[in-house]
Amino acid sequence: MAVDYSPASHYDRVTQAWQYLLGDELHYGVFDRGDEDLAEATGNLTRRMIDGAGLERGLTVLDVGCGTGAPACDLAERYGVEVVGITTSPVGVETATRRAAERGLSDRVRFELRDGTANGLPDESFDRVWVLESSHLMREREALVAECARVLRPGGRMVLCDVMRMREIPFQEVRRRTAEFAALRAAFGSARMDTMAQYVDLATANGLVVDMTEDLTAATLKTFEHWLGNAERYRDEATAALGAESLAEFEEGSRILDALWREGTLGYGIFSAAKPEGA
């Protein structure tokens, strides 16, 4: 039977196992010193997003691609914001809803099954839109950014970080490297990588003003050795949750990403953009 690499199926399949491999926060780490453990490093990335978002008590936040709900719960607990987290993965909604209830946050944090490219939420209904490493999974990138801009209140802010393409990849090269890209799709789901310039153009076309960008490629490089270390450390648990074949795909995908980072093909970036008052 053909494997379904759509993000919804992919995240239903991997969410449990990835908590061993990636941690509660399902995203890359930022290694500012270099000797952080993975949990501290993923926290560093979340903190970069918090700085970019300019969070204040009482603000409403839309978390597009909420994962296991860990970042949304942290934001509500530490910054007193209200969060609606959305994802296309039913397992993600279940896991995140359970987490919010366990942490006594159900009155301020809720999770819903919605697609970031057509979220169905009212216009101008959030103060902040938070897109932490989910945009690469939304091939309809134009629709994602348009939806983020639409639901933001004037004076609000969108903040996004993700894997980005650092150079053009000529068609001939894509053909030559089909096996590598197929291995990445098997390990991480179907994805589309854009450059920071493409993200900035899209945000601008939707009336947002990008006032912060940062290249985190070098700072995120160590993520892969930590993922591979966790695959060793939690081999039994991850195999039970994911199967030996998928775990091997995850390890191969991590090695390929490490090489793509080092050769300057893929990398990581963050930006923050304001929706002007009166927009």
Ligand X SMILES: C[S@@+](CC[C@H](N)C(=O)[O-])C[C@H]1O[C@@H](n2cnc3c(N)ncnc32)[C@H](O)[C@@H]1O
> Considering the complex, what minimum distance in angstroms separates the CB of residue 92 from ligand X?
5
Query: Which residue from 40, 86, 84, 47 is spatially nearest to 67, judged by alpha carbons?
Result: 86
The Cβ of residue 136 has, within 10 Å, a number of other Cβ atoms equal to: 21
The Cβ of residue 224 has, within 10 Å, a number of other Cβ atoms equal to: 22
The secondary structure of 169-217 as a DSSP string is --HHHHHHTHHHHHHHHHHH-S-----HHHHHHHHHHTT-EEEEEEE-H
> Considering the complex, what minimum distance in angstroms separates the CB of residue 69 from ligand X?
8
Alpha-carbon span 22 to 30, nearest angstrom:
13
> Considering the complex, what minimum distance in angstroms separates the CB of residue 278 from ligand X?
29
Residue with tokens 């993975």: 38
| Residue placing its CB nearer to ligand X in the complex, 10 or 173 | 10
Query: Which residue from 137, 239, 242, 115 is spatially nearest to 185, judged by alpha carbons?
Result: 137
* Residues of this chain that bind ligand X (CB under 6 A): 7, 11, 25-27, 64-67, 70-71, 86-89, 92, 115-117, 132-134, 137-138
Q: Residue 117 has which token pair?
A: 């490219």
> Considering the complex, what minimum distance in angstroms separates the CB of residue 173 from ligand X?
26
- Determine the Cα angle at 36 with ends 31 and 40, to 5°: 85
| Residue placing its CB nearer to ligand X in the complex, 109 or 138 | 138
Q: Which residue is nearest to ligand X (CB)?
A: 67
| Residue placing its CB nearer to ligand X in the complex, 59 or 130 | 130
| Residue placing its CB nearer to ligand X in the complex, 134 or 272 | 134
| Residue placing its CB nearer to ligand X in the complex, 9 or 279 | 9
Q: How far is CA 15 from CA 92, 138, 245, in A?
A: 7, 18, 16
> Considering the complex, what minimum distance in angstroms separates the CB of residue 265 from ligand X?
19
> Considering the complex, what minimum distance in angstroms separates the CB of residue 165 from ligand X?
17
* Rg for the chain, CA atoms, rounded: 18
| Residue placing its CB nearer to ligand X in the complex, 143 or 279 | 143
